[in-house]
């Protein structure tokens, strides 16, 4: 945790690995993805003295520089028509907690396209649809100010687009529009710009090159200490982070050891990076089927677990999503946010929470839109800035968590290789269906499913270790999963079912005397109590703002309920079937496609397993019950719009059920074949 705090702390000196916001490829990929992944993958590195020294040094440098040095870059203050305070822009380097900050953002690079300008949301924060700007519409007033340190005389001028009216002043005097000659020394500059329409460019140039690359720019005149430190100080964070990465990679190599695994990591990561470049989107799942080859790789004994599955599957999956994110929007650039849809509401609510201080209210007195994701989105923006890159990463990791849950549930019942097959099946099924478009789209389904799956993994581990503290943490995560998407309440409660071991067969249902023989009782008490407490706190918050002590007041529960007033029993039954089929087929209206096969088969097998008979009776009881609980919400409410989003939470459990069934069938077939060969004398 200290390593992440030190690495993510916004640096005063701009450079590679300079902390939040992660608005460049090195920062977004290394600090936002690789570093936390390696810290989790090799916990032994946390006990390495070299790690301790590097983390303390990095933390000390960030504290010293924050107290003693002036911020690099220029201060940009953005004013929008109809607003009396400056617009804030998810830049942790500014005074963003102030009601009227001096700086909307810190700019340390030329602004050469609309999406780089610190104007968030585009183009309005109003509750009514903003008019599309024409060539004469004033979108924003922008002031860029700070100090430049000049070693040799040169010329400063502005490069602007026709849609940007800008004026430059140097040391308080208006500058020549064709360029201002400036002598050596420290100078205060200010740029006042009016942005109209679209297609903006605003880039200060020094001797026809980028000002930010040619000179030192600071938000205030640098001190003598600043002048001494800056020539080399911006490399300190980079060197310390690189050294930390090298130690983490060394521990990773020691843990893996086998060259075959290392070769697979390199090949799968390269393949994952090439998929978005070379393969049409609708063919990705066919290529990802190659991940099933990971089942044949022999892993070291210490990595035949969730971390080992991560090593085999994560490189390809994360590389695919990093390249897809870059192709889609790039780093440090905002994405177009259309007014009025779910994404707009979540983004605007996240802004209200973090920038305007609505920490409990969350943008709505009663949550017509699902609650908790807006807090998640705001935290990601604080790290990644104005772009949606952080949300893309978050959702990609969320789907990976679903795959790792499927792995662990299958591994515990059928072994490591079958677990890898289940995890790969989750990734393939997700990409093949309509749900893939929700990566980074600012909705709640992936986050809720990932949190609940993470809670289930925690209960499984707590049971193995008989650890009540770990159980309490897992129960808290289950509450967050429920808060993220209220529809998933049955699934969140069903986390408690992993009080039974995954080796417990469904056939136990036919033996009531055996129901409690192998159960670890604490999850059956702690998880429901935690969920009940979460429901109470949620209702209490609703009462505080609306006067109604209710979980569902102000939500879409009445609108989306399967059972509507005046419906006959037959109509309700048909509505329930249609709702379940929508989830099982991952499409709305229900229709078959290849990616739906694991979900449909998983649901059918889970229902059949309730009989406890035959082959399906060997399926793991807690996994079967968890799968049915995931589908249970479809009997209560039917989602609308965004086809595929309401099936995401069932992917992990369904794929695990299918894989366990295949493993049981394979074992029976091979056992029968061996017996037949023996009977014939072979």
* pLDDT averaged over 10-residue windows placed end to end, the chain, 682 residues: 94 92 93 95 92 96 94 93 86 92 94 88 52 72 94 93 94 88 93 91 94 93 90 92 96 92 94 91 85 91 92 95 84 76 87 93 92 95 92 95 97 94 94 84 89 97 96 97 95 97 93 90 97 97 95 89 86 91 90 88 95 91 96 89 87 96 88 57 49
Q: Would you state the pLDDT for residue 672?
A: 63
The distance from CA 660 to its chain's CA centroid, rounded to whole angstroms, is: 29
What φ, ψ does residue 196 adopt, rounded to 5°?
-120, 150
CB 643 within 8 A of CB 588: yes
Q: Which residues contact 298 (CB under 8 A, 6 or more apart)?
A: 258, 260
Place of tokens 């086809």: 643
User: What is the largest distance, in Å, between two alpha-carbon atoms of the chain?
Assistant: 102
pTM over 0.85: yes
pLDDT computed for residue 382 by the predictor = 94
The DSSP H or E segment spanning 644 is none
CA distances from 453 to 489, 498, 518, 624 (A): 13, 11, 22, 14
C-alpha distances out from residue 195 to 76, 111, 139, 164, Å: 13, 12, 6, 5
Q: Give the β-pairing of 105-107 and 164-170.
A: unpaired
Residue 199 backbone class (left: φ over 0; alpha: ψ -120 to 50; beta: rest):
left
Q: For residue 136, what pLDDT is reported?
A: 75
- The two tokens of residue 672 are 């029968």
Q: Residue 243: what pLDDT? A: 96
User: Could you give the CA distance from residue 402 to residue 602 in angstroms, rounded to a whole number?
Assistant: 15
pLDDT of residue 680: 54
pLDDT score of 675: 56
All residues at 6 or more sequence positions from 623 whose CB lies less than 8 Å from its CB, including other chains: 409, 413, 502, 653, 656, 657, 660
**The predicted structure's pLDDT at residue 592:** 85
Who contacts 168 (Cβ-Cβ below 8 Å, separation ≥6)?
156, 157, 158, 174, 175, 177, 180, 189, 190, 191, 204
Count Cβ atoms below 10 Å from residue 464 Cβ, excluding itself. 12
- DSSP annotation string for 89-123: -S-TTS-TTSSS-S-SEEE-S-B-SGGGSS--SSS
Give CB contacts under 8 A, 24+ apart, made by 226-232.
226/69, 226/70, 227/149, 229/13, 229/65, 229/69, 230/13
């Amino acid at each position: 945790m200290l390593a992440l705090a030190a690495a993510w702390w916004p640096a005063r000196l701009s450079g590679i690995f300079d902390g939040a916001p992660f608005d460049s490829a090195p920062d977004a990929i290394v600090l936002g993805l690789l570093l936390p992944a390696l810290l989790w993958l090799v916990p032994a590195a946390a006990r390495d003295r070299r790690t301790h020294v590097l983390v303390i040094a990095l933390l000390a440098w960030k504290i010293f520089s924050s107290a003693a040095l002036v911020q690099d870059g220029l201060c940009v203050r953005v004013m929008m028509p109809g607003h009396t305070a400056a617009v804030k822009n998810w830049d942790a380097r500014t005074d963003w907690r102030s009601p009227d900050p001096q700086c909307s953002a810190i700019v340390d690079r030329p602004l050469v396209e609309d999406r780089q300008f610190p104007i968030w949301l585009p183009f309005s924060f109003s509750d009514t649809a903003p008019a599309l700007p024409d060539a004469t519409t004033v979108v924003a007033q922008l002031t860029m100010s700070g100090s430049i340190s000049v070693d040799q005389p040169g010329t400063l001028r502005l490069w602007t687009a026709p849609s940007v009216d800008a004026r430059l002043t140097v040391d308080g005097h208006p500058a020549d529009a064709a360029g201002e000659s400036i002598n050596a020394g420290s100078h205060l500059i200010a740029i006042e710009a009016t942005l109209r329409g679209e297609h903006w460019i605003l880039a200060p140039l020094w001797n026809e090159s980028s000002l930010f690359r040619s000179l030192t720019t600071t938000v205030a005149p640098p001190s003598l200490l600043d002048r001494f430190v800056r020539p080399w100080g911006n490399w300190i964070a980079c060197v310390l982070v690189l050294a930390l990465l090298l130690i983490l990679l060394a521990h990773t190599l020691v843990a893996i050891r086998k060259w075959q695994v290392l070769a697979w990591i390199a090949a799968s990561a390269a393949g994952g990076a090439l998929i978005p470049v070379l393969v049409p989107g609708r063919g990705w799942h066919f290529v990802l089927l190659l991940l099933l080859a990971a089942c044949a790789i022999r892993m070291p004994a210490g990595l035949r677990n969730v971390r080992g599955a991560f090593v085999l599957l994560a490189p390809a999956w994360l590389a695919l999503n990093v390249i897809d994110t870059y192709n889609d929007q790039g780093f440090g650039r905002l994405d177009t946010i259309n007014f009025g849809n779910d994404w707009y509401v979540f983004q605007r609510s996240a802004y209200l929470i973090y920038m305007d201080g609505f920490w409990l209210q969350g943008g709505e007195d009663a949550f017509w839109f699902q609650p908790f994701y807006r807090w998640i989105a705001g935290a990601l923006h604080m790290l990644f800035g104005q772009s949606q890159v952080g949300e893309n990463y978050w959702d990609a990791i969320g789907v990976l968590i679903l795959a790792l849950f499927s792995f662990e549930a299958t591994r515990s019942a059928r072994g490591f290789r079958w677990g890898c097959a289940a995890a790969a099946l989750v990734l393939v099924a997700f990409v093949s269906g309509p749900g893939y478009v929700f990566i980074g789209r600012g909705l709640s389904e992936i986050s809720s499913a990932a949190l609940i799956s993470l809670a289930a993994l925690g209960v499984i581990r707590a049971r193995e270790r008989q650890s009540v503290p770990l159980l309490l943490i897992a129960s808290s995560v289950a509450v967050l999963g429920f808060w993220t998407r209220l529809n998933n309440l049955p699934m969140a409660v069903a986390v408690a079912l992993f009080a039974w071991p995954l080796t417990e067969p469904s056939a136990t249902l036919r033996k009531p005397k055996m129901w409690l023989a192998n159960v670890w009782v604490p999850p059956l008490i702690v998880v429901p109590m935690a969920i009940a407490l979460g429901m109470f706190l949620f209702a209490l918050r609703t009462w505080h703002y609306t006067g109604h002590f209710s979980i569902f007041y102000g939500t879409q529960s009445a609108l989306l309920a399967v059972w509507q007033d005046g419906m006959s029993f037959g109509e309700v039954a048909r509505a329930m079937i249609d709702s379940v089929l929508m989830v099982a087929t991952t499409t709305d209206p229900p229709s078959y496609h290849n990616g739906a096969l694991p979900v449909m088969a998983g649901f059918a097998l889970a229902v059949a397993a309730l009989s406890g008979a035959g082959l399906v009776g060997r399926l793991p009881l807690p996994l079967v019950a968890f799968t049915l609980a995931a589908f249970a919400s479809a009997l209560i409410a039917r989602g609308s719009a965004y086809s595929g989003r309401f099936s995401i939470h069932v992917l992990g459990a369904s794929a695990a059920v299918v894989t366990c069934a295949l493993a049981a069938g394979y074992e029976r077939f091979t056992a029968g074949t061996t017996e037949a060969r023996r009977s014939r004398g072979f």
